[in-house]
Amino acid sequence: MTRRIVCLCLTLVLCTLTGAADREPAVITAFVPLAERDAVLQFPADEKPTLTEILSQLPATLRVCLDGAKTPVSVPVEWFCVGGDYEKRGEYYYQFSPQWDTTRYVLDSRLDVLTEAPYVGVFLTDAAGAELLAVTKSPNEAAVFEYLTGVMGLNAAAACGVMANIQAESYFNPHALGDNGTSYGICQWHNERWTRLKDYCSQNGYDSTTLDGQLHYLDYELTRYYSSVLRQIRAVSNNAQGAYDAASVWCIRFEIPANKQTVAVTRGNLAKNSYWPQYRESFTVTFSPNGGTVAPDSQEVTNGEPYGDLPVPARDGYTFGGWFTAESGGEQITAETVADLTEPQTLYARWNVAVAVKAVSRDGDLITADIQCDDLSALVFCAVYLDNGKMVTVFSSQVTEEPACAFRFENVTFDYASVFILDSSQRPLCEGGRT
């Protein structure tokens, strides 16, 4: 009896294990973002923590949605440093992305783990500026942005892409040394590029050890040696995706670190998710009601994002036809239009004359219509039809200030009548109900 019980238990265990092995992994179809306090780790650059110390501070689980469900569940995860060996790299920014037991969970093929899964950014900062991180808010960061946009003419997104790379390479420190003393400055110019930096500054009255000298050289180097890179970053859209694209191009074609394709993803994420929210451009849009009234009469819009809800103006005798970039003609702007501005903007209300056939009634051969039309050049038409739908006759009348108009159809036998309004060019404006 005991032997049978043991055999039965073993059989149940084996069946359970076999069933688990045959079960398809659950598909991760969405992620819940990490809380801000969990998404960033910050350390002084001269006290770079070990990989073990980093991993000990990362979340043990992520909240995800499985198989299209809307209710998230917790999934155990581990973390890896994107772009290669954390211990051997001498950068100032690292991205740690999650991984999970792939026998239990797989990622939806439409998602990318490096760009769409939550990640943790590890920032190594100068000791003096550690508390300023967000992005860095160091004076050098602000100066670089002003130079890239004000002197070199890059849009904000392109500047964000460049700055994400500079942060990773040097933390905006013009004295940064890397690659065992063979790379120098904010862009970590290496070997002969470092020599060219010193030669250019010496010949043009700049100091190669200063931020000012290195920015002037950067402008020169791009124009002289990397013109195709400059063309590419000048062409990016001035939005979050443009910031990502600029960072990726700069990493792959200008900085060229080891594992450049993968590292480019981390710097693109840094530009898109950290720099762009700090430096994206906002402008005031003013609403001109053009004879009506509107409240509010202005709002802020951000480049690269939709305008959002727009106010609806009012004007007696008119219906609102939308907001346009000019009083006549121009482009219509809607809530879904993505802003791409270089200066404050005025939008103009477009109005249509309010036209309506409110009611149509019949008393024998007399048809009466109650209309609304402020265009006194318009015409009111009344048509009568046989029971087979064939029109037999039409009368017209000029619109007047009186709301009612009447048509008498003597000696005409008809089934029903319909009233409609045409403008002075006989284009239909409105058709009302029929009797």
Domains of the chain: 23-129 (no CATH), 134-279 (1.10.530.10), 282-353 (2.60.40.4270), 355-434 (2.60.40.10)
Of 119-128, 262-271, 380-389, the least confident: 119-128
Q: Does the structure show a pLDDT above 80 at 226?
A: yes
Question: Which pLDDT score, from 0 to 100, does residue 248 have?
Answer: 98
pLDDT of residue 10: 47
Give the pLDDT confidence of 171-212 residue by residue, as tens digits: 899 999 988 899 999 999 999 999 999 999 999 999 999 999
- Mean pLDDT throughout 339-357? 87
Nearest to 304 by CA among 286, 283, 325, 322: 283
pLDDT in tens, 32-82: 999 988 998 988 888 899 999 999 999 999 999 999 999 999 999 999 999
pLDDT at 129 over 80: no
Residue 430: the pLDDT is: 76
Higher pLDDT, 352 or 152: 152
Phi/psi zone of residue 171: left (φ > 0), alpha (ψ -120 to 50 degrees), beta? left
Given pLDDT bands bounded at 50, 70 and 90, which one contains residue 136? low
- Would you state the torsion angle of the CA atoms of residues 263, 265, 267, 268, taken in this order, to the nearest 10 degrees? 160
State mean pLDDT over 100-110: 96
The predicted structure's pLDDT at residue 12: 45
Beta bridge partners of 379: 398, 422
334 contacts: CB under 8 Å, gap ≥ 6: 307, 310, 322, 323
- End-to-end distance of the chain based on CA atoms, in angstroms? 93
The region of weakest confidence among 14-28, 68-82, 355-369 is: 14-28
pLDDT level of residue 337 (50, 70, 90 thresholds)? very high
- The closest alpha carbon to 125, from 116, 114, 137, 113, belongs to 137
Contact 395, 431 (CB under 8 A): no
